[in-house]
Amino acid sequence: MDEKIRKRAEVWTRPPYDEATRKAVLEMMEKRQEECADAFYRDLEFGTGGLRGILGVGTNRMNPYVVALATQGFANYLQKQCQAEGLEKQVAVSYDCRNGSSQFALTTAKVFAANGFKVYLFTAMRPTPVLSFAVRHYHCCGGVMVTASHNPKEYNGYKAYGKDGGQLVSPHDKAVMAEVSAITSLEQVKMEGNDHLIRYIDEEVDNAYLEKVLSLSLDRQAVEQQAQMKIVYTPLHGTGMTMVPRALCRWGFRNVVCVPEQMVADGNFSTVASPNPEERAAMLPAIGLAKREKAALVIATDPDADRVGVAIPDGKGDFILLNGNQTGSVLVHYLLRKWKDSGKLTGKEYIVKTIVTTELLKKMAGKNGVECYDVLTGFKYIAGIIGRLEGEKTFIGGGEESYGYLAGDFVRDKDAVISCCLIAEMAAEAACRGESFMDILCSLYREYGFYKESLVSVSKKGMEGAAEIKAMMAGFRKNPPASLGGEKVVETRDYGHGYAGLPASDVLQFFTEAGSKVTVRPSGTEPKIKFYFGLCLPWDPEKSYEEQDRDGNLKIEAFKKDLGLS
């Protein structure tokens, strides 16, 4: 074993580390040296969104000690902010269903309290958007959500929030990272005392949040007419179970059927291989129940309930799983149409999307005289635009292709609770007009063109994987493709040093002469490199949706081949 790694590991075999941790590290050093090297070769990076990593002992793992170190750094930053801006020293802390989450949340609360912060700590797991709401509701200077979102069960994480209820953006994210990196020893962490500053919260903030959610309804009459519309819902063992059924009930839906085996908090996600509503396998139990119940809609939320997956009947006894761009397109179309019909469009409204999200959103917004802002991947950038334009313009809604959407501005992160309610209302309103989700989607394609998108993620784990991803990005920069799928590449955008006013980011985009777009970027939360494909093809009225979807898939396969992915 590398001598530097051995010395880093040996520190964890002595106090103040607890006995179980010390034994686990000693055993790993003796019997599983490769695993030990990966656990100690670096500190788990506190990135612009916080922490995310595999559970276990070690500096490169998620555990109470790493959480305590990060919290002390975050507390140091917030202390300076409070002094500079005259803010009260108070934070909100929440957590999801994952293994270790409640312990990490309590550790976080204790460190903040030991540093003199009043802490609003949820008594039980809650969705990420509820934490964002709580930060604003209690006028906190910051917040923490313990979650790894839709990552596999081996992971957990830690999201840091600013006073606006959004994840940190520049320059605050870099400032927090600097404070966290300055904490190199547990001796620098305040852990004991001031527990009386921890206040436990639950129903008071739940009710305030749910009332705000209900205020976003755009068609109460449609909901009343379709109150018995059958909806199948699954939280995939996560936090959505605490809010989504309650929100749908308040909204007026009286026939919500939950997948019983997945309405159980379970950090091992025992009924699914991956708790990700982007994957059809995760949706199968809900789809099976929906078939038996003859439901009109299936909705699923990820473990921290900030993303939502949707499945709709195909008219042939099965269900079609919509991708994130399709759900986002139908949702934004609904918002724009209802705002226009009610006379709420004044020329000062806007939507926001990420650069990898379908261009259909921008086309729809433009037709309605609504401005569309493009931001880097990450919902914090959408929240940043909302904050910057607050008081000047009105945010209608927006989202990203990775199944995250938002309407209203009382939450500053993607919100699956809001999304579930609006999606159900859309389905109800369409049913009143004798239409389906697919009818709406195809009408958009007829008007704007057939948008076909796909995502390919290539996993590269460990030290070698990180180096390989870096080499792949360097290779694409040095030798960008000349053509993709028979289409000439006419523009390459490198966001490495910023582009069009956006911050620098390790992202490449290739645009073809036919209007297709491919985006390449390393994941900020998983050991993956991601390829986003976006095509806009002519809509052929002589072909079915299924036929045109297959044609689009063939075109994407040709693109993948030219990028060396197949």
| CATH code assigned at 501 | 3.30.310
Encoded tokens for 425: 């209302």
> Which of 391, 413, 448 is the last residue in one of the domains?
448
- Indicate whether 183 and 250 sit together in one domain: no
Instruction: Find the mean pLDDT for residues 239-259.
Output: 98
Q: What is the mean pLDDT of residues 75-89?
A: 97
Q: Are residues 369 and 455 in the same domain?
A: no
Domain range for 500 is 449-562
Short-list 74, 38, 77, 73, CA closest to 59:
38
Question: With 80 as the cut, is the pLDDT of residue 526 above it?
Answer: no
Encoded tokens for 57: 């002992």
Pair of tokens at residue 521: 């970027």
pLDDT given for residue 32 in this prediction: 94
Q: Taking residues 387-397, report their average pLDDT.
A: 97
User: DSSP 3-state assignment of 556?
Assistant: helix
| DSSP tag of 100 | T
Q: Is 30 a domain residue?
A: no
pLDDT, residue 47, reads 84
CA dihedral 181, 303, 414, 44 (to 10 degrees): 10
pLDDT band at 525 (very low <50, low <70, confident <90, very high): low
| 8-state DSSP, 187 | G
pLDDT of amino acid 527? 84
Asked if 179 and 73 touch (Cβ cutoff 8 Å), the reply is yes
Distance between alpha carbon 205 and the CA centroid of its chain, in Å?
Answer: 22
Helices (H), 390-460: 416-432, 437-448
541, part of any domain:
yes
149 is catalytic: yes
Is residue 340 within 8 A of residue 362, CB to CB? The reply is no
Based on the fold, state whether residues 384 and 454 are members of the same structural domain: no
Which domain-ending residue is among 448, 468, 493? 448
- Across residues 143-171, what is the average pLDDT? 95
Segment 328-349 mean pLDDT:
97
Are residue 191 and residue 226 in the same domain, yes or no?
no
| For residues 357-375, average pLDDT | 96
**What one-character-per-residue DSSP string does 194-233 give?**
-GGGEEEESHHHHHHHHHHHHTT-S-HHHHHHTTT--EEE
Quickly tell me which residue has 């590449």 as its tokens.
Answer: 489
- pLDDT value of residue 49: 82
User: Is residue 228 scored above 80 in pLDDT?
Assistant: yes
Whether the per-residue pLDDT at 524 is higher than 80: the answer is no
Do 428 and 541 belong to one domain? no
Checking phi first, is residue 154 left (phi over 0); if not, alpha (psi -120 to 50) or beta? Answer: alpha
pLDDT at residue 523 in the model: 86
How far the first Cα of the chain sits from its last, in Å, is: 36
pLDDT of residue 17: 96
Of all residues in the chain, the percent with pLDDT exceeding 70 is 100
Which one of 149, 402, 436, 505 is the catalytic residue?
149
C-alpha 471/C-alpha 450 separation (Å) is 34
Domain assignment present for 19: no
Sheet holding 231-234, edge to edge: 256-258, 231-234, 297-301, 308-313, 319-321
* Mean pLDDT computed over 378-389: 95
Q: What was the pLDDT predicted at 213?
A: 98
End position of a domain, from candidates 176, 200, 224: 200
Is the pLDDT confidence value at 315 over 90? no
Report the alpha-carbon distance of residue 392 to residue 97 in Å, rounded.
Answer: 38
Of 194, 190, 189, which is closest to residue 113 (Cα–Cα)? 194
Residue 93: its H or E element:
strand 90-95
Q: What separation in angstroms does the CA of 490 have from each of 177, 210, 261, 500, 554? A: 38, 48, 51, 18, 22
8-17, 317-326, 365-374, 524-533: range with lowest mean pLDDT: 524-533
Q: Does residue 173 share a domain with residue 221?
A: no
Asked if 309 and 243 sit in the same domain, the reply is: yes
> Is-contact 377 397, C-beta < 8 A?
no
How many domains is the chain built from? 3
User: Cβ contacts of residue 91 below 8 Å, gap of 6+?
Assistant: 78, 112, 117, 118, 119, 120, 135, 140, 141, 142, 143, 144
CA 487, CA 482: separation in Å to the nearest integer?
9
439 & 472 share domain: no
The region of weakest confidence among 76-90, 493-507, 514-528 is 514-528
Mean pLDDT of the residues in the chain: 95
CATH of the domain at 114: 3.40.120.10
Confidence (pLDDT) at 133 = 98
Give yes or no: residues 216 and 72 share one domain: no
Tally Cβ neighbours within 10 Å of residue 149. 27
Percent of the chain at pLDDT > 90 equals 91
